[in-house]
């Protein structure tokens, strides 16, 4: 699992592993990229035909301890978690679309998941607000974190305290938000949607016309992708 941030994303997965992702004996290894997603595009273009993210990660100082004994052959799946970071001076929606085309298979080059607008979208929930209508400006930058602290209910703010029931509630909210974004109905999607198709919907519905996104967390979407939508529909029953 490759993270943009050093604190929040590993904390999320640490908690997730208490309730999910423990069905087999595979070891989950964390790797820090430590830069915005658009930086990967530059490395992608520097390569002749392909970009293997694992050797690049192994060379980064922040990953030397975690990955020193990990060979490329031992890595069966790669998942990358990044923020949209549309406020960055290097942000480019065409480049992001190209990366979502390239990083679309976890068993090959890796699969990229985007938080709209940032990883804090996971907890941007409130009993008093219709989450289907929760949007965020893409030009706010890091001030989005302050917005979440103001608008989110306290029960959602401390991810390390999430239990199974709260996770299932959060996944349900983001799952229905995905359904609303893609199919205009407040329910889990009726079909699979690629990460590129989700991005294009955000781009065409929200980013280009209004400089905003429909708030949507990457980790609930990852879990729905990993287990399948039907898995969580059965949990609701």
Domains of the chain, by residue range, sit at 2-236
What CA–CA distances, in Å, run from 27 to 57, 75, 207? 17, 9, 37
Residue 237 has pLDDT above 60, yes or no: no
Which has the minimum average pLDDT: 10-24, 80-94, 113-127?
80-94
Print burial letters for 15-45: b (CB count within 10 Å at least 16), e (below 16): bbeeebbeeeeeeebebbbeebbbbbbeebe
- Going by C-alpha positions, the residue among 179, 191, 161 that lies closest to residue 220 is 179
* pLDDT class of 190 with cuts at 50, 70, 90: confident
Measured distance CA(138)–CA(116) in Å, rounded = 9
Contact 188, 176 (CB under 8 A): yes
Q: Model-level pTM?
A: 0.93
Measured distance CA(139)–CA(125) in Å, rounded = 20
Tell me the two tokens of residue 103: 């990083």
């Amino acid at each position: 699992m490759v993270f943009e941030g050093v604190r929040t994303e590993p904390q999320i997965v640490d908690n997730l592993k208490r309730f999910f992702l423990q069905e087999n004996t595979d070891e989950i290894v964390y790797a820090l990229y430590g830069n915005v997603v658009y930086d990967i595009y530059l490395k992608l273009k520097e390569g002749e035909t392909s970009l293997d993210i694992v050797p690049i990660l192994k060379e980064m100082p922040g990953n030397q301890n975690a990955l020193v004994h990990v060979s490329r052959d031992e890595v069966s799946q790669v998942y990358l978690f990044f923020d949209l970071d549309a406020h960055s001076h290097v942000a480019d929606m065409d480049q992001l679309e190209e990366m979502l085309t390239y990083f679309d298979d976890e068993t090959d080059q890796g699969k990229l998941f985007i938080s709209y607008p940032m990883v804090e979208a996971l907890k941007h929930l409130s009993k008093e607000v219709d989450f289907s209508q929760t949007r965020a400006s893409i030009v706010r930058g890091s001030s989005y974190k302050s917005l979440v602290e103001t608008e989110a209910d306290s029960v959602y703010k401390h991810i390390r305290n999430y239990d199974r029931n709260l996770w299932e509630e959060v996944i349900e909210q983001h799952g229905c938000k995905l359904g609303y974004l893609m199919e205009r109905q407040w329910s889990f999607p009726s079909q699979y949607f690629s990460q590129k198709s989700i991005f294009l919907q955000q781009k065409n519905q929200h980013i280009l016309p209004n400089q905003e996104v429909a708030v949507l967390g990457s980790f609930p979407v990852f879990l729905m992708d990993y287990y399948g939508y039907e898995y969580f529909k059965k949990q609701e029953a």
